[in-house]
Amino acid sequence: MAKDPVPELLSRATEALEAEFEALPRFETESMPGARELSGVLEETARRLVDNYPYFHPLYAGQMLKPPHPVARAAYALAMKINPNNHALDGGRASSAMEMEAVREIAAMFGWKEFLGHLTSSGTLANLEALWMAGQQKPGKRIVGSEQAHYTHQRISGVLKLAYTSVAADRCGRMDLNALEEELRKGDVGAVVATLGTTAIGAVDPLDGILKLKERYGFRVHVDAAYGGYFRLIADELQETTGRAFEAVGEADSIVIDPHKHGLQPYGCGCVLFRDPAEGRFYKHDSPATYFTSSDLHLGQISLECSRAGAGAVALWATQRLLPLVPNGEFARGLAKCRAAALELDRRLRAEARFAPLAAGKPELDIVVWTLALRAADSGMKSEQAQSVFDACAARGLHLALVQLPAKWFRTGDRAEDARTMTCLRSVLMKPEHEAWMDEIWKRLSAACGEVLTA
């Protein structure tokens, strides 16, 4: 593991922060343990944390886990010296201002200057607020999303007592517009969830087509870009249909993006944006014991959550100061490397007869999905083989993921098989370092597959 620069940098920054409060009378913190006791507990904590996959390393190419940037870790830890609460200015003046600045930069990425938005403690909470707003604006109406949309939308709709309907996805994993229009003709759809980067395969719903249907049927459009939103910065480098969807994001009514995914932030940091600032009226509430030091906007007045960690806002602000959200910048180049790694892995898989990548074609973002190409094997056997490859890779220090997908997405040629689902191998190549490590990843994957196929 490379030497971590954070401790030394954090120590200097902490000294600078403490110097600003030197005029205060000194006091002793009650029950402060001694250095030996602290050291013992922290060493024990470190030993417990070893029981983890190496999420930070390029050989972890499994789930959607991206290590926070060193500046984010340092800024978060620095803010914890104060432990601000961004619900009210009384609990987090500086961090609230930093949140508003950081969120403004995210909104600008989608072309929005006037908007309503804030950070949340998770993408789930961000999506809940967006669907709650849909229920306020279209009371009694259904929520509709693709069958490949994140399961959280159906659960959230249940919490909000809103009816939810899943519509079919095509063989690319994208929402089927014909299936969507069948639901729209029923006249009771209040909002459509368009996913820009599904969790399973990174599919991007045809947002431009959905917006055309909105003109005819008058529903709200919510864009769940929790995973894929930052790819807006390299939209011109994506395949044409994908790029069109990202170019159209600014026409949506609401957007969710998770800085704790591609935004290099610690968990949990979600963000919800509304195109119409006037929708803030639905959040209006009175809290006479909270908002008393300033008549300026308190973030709790435009959020369903109350207490929220201001440290998350500080970390995001610092990261965006170092890596601005602009096309062709260092942050955007990092995304391009992730996509390049995915395209390269997909190319290698398609070049070998023993692998069967998705029949739809190249990855849209940076998720690659495949199975083993054995014509005689049924979906059950292929699922077992995928599990075996997963285990064999892990034994070689390469960590992948598994996902259940329709067999028909892999051109089985068997109608009975097409109706089933099977376990497939999945890799989220969301570290820029994955591009440089592709040869090593491929060597270990090939060796694992060879072991399974000859067993």
Q: What is the per-residue pLDDT across 166-202, written as a single tens digit (0 to 9) for each?
A: 999 999 999 999 999 999 999 999 999 999 999 999 9
- Per-residue model confidence (pLDDT) at position 106: 98
Amino acid at 176: D
Angle at CA 161, nearest 5°, toward 179 and 267? 85
For residue 58, the model assigns a pLDDT of: 97
Segment among 43-52, 308-317, 348-357, 369-378 with least mean pLDDT: 369-378
Q: Tokens 């399974």 label which residue?
A: 452
Q: What pLDDT is stored for residue 35 in this prediction?
A: 79
- The least confident of 216-220, 284-288, 322-326, 389-393 is 284-288
Sequence-separated contacts (24+) of 179-182 with Cβ below 8 Å: 180/144, 180/210, 180/213, 181/213
The mean per-residue pLDDT over the stretch 20-35 comes to 79
Convert 70-99 to b/e letters by CB count within 10 Å (16 or more is b).
bbbbbbbbbbeebebbbbbbbbbbebbebb
Distances (CA, A) of 377 to 345, 382, 427: 24, 6, 23
pLDDT at 290 over 60: no
376, pLDDT greater than 50? no
Maximum alpha-carbon separation in the chain: 78
The counts of H helices and E strands in the chain are: 15, 11
β-strand pairing of 270-274 with 421-428: unpaired
pLDDT, residue 298, reads 75
Residue-level pLDDT at 223: 98
Q: Do residues 301 and 283 make contact, with C-beta atoms less than 8 angstroms apart? A: yes
Which H or E run contains 210? helix 207-217
Q: Is the pLDDT of residue 442 over 60?
A: yes
Cis peptide before 268 (omega within 30 of 0): yes
Each residue's pLDDT tens digit, 145-166: 999 999 999 999 999 999 999 9
394/397 Cα distance (integer angstroms) = 5
Contact indicator for 270, 122 with CB cutoff of 8 Å: yes
Q: Answer whether residue 432 shows pLDDT above 60.
A: yes
* Higher pLDDT pick, 295 / 144: 144
What the block records as the tokens of 141 is 């109406």
pLDDT band (50, 70, 90) for residue 20? confident
Residue 295 predicted with pLDDT over 50: yes
Phi/psi class of residue 218: alpha, beta or left (left: φ > 0; alpha: ψ in -120 to 50)? left
Give residue 416's Cα distance to chain centre: 35
CB 79 within 8 A of CB 326: no
**294 confidence band (pLDDT: 50, 70, 90):** low
Residues 132 and 346 sit within 8 Å (Cβ to Cβ): no
**pLDDT tens per residue across span 63-102:** 999 999 999 999 999 999 999 988 888 888 999 999 999 9
Q: Are strands 270-274 and 254-257 parallel, antiparallel or unpaired?
A: antiparallel
Mean pLDDT score, 328-334: 97
Q: How far is CA 72 from CA 78, 98, 112, 136, 310, in A?
A: 10, 13, 25, 35, 13
For 308-393, list the strands marked E by DSSP.
355-357, 367-372
Domains of the chain and any CATH numbers:
93-285+294-322 (3.40.640.10), 330-454 (3.90.1150.170)
Whole-number mean pLDDT of the chain? 92
Question: Please, which pLDDT band fits residue 419 given cuts at 50, 70 and 90?
Answer: low
231-237's contacts with Cβ under 8 Å and 24+ in sequence apart are: 231/196, 231/197, 231/262, 231/335, 231/339, 231/365, 232/109, 232/110, 233/109, 233/325, 233/326, 233/327, 233/329, 233/331, 233/332, 233/335, 234/327, 234/332, 234/335, 234/336, 234/339, 236/327, 237/336, 237/339
The per-residue pLDDT for range 105-144, each reduced to its tens digit, is 999 999 999 999 999 999 999 999 999 999 999 999 999 9
